Amino acid sequence: MVEETTRDEATWYRCEECGLVFDIDADAQQHEANCTAEDPPYLR
């Protein structure tokens, strides 16, 4: 899911799967659709 957060008076969209943060809702939605959180590269 994409979590919407407000920080520094700006709205951010965070991918709950991997923690990536986007400043554009559409970008977060698109990322989430292709998210590979089950296989995060930074944990390998």
CB of 25 to Zn ion, least distance (A): 14
For 27, 43, 44, the CA distances from 23, given in Å and listed in that order, are 8, 24, 27
CB of 39 to Zn ion, least distance (A): 11
CA distance 35 to 8: 26
CA 17 from chain centre, in angstroms, equals: 7
CB of 22 to Zn ion, least distance (A): 10
**Which residues in the 2-41 window bind Zn ion by CB under 5 A?**
15, 17-18, 20, 35, 37
Which residues sit at the interface with Zn ion, rule CB under 5 A?
15, 17-18, 20, 35, 37
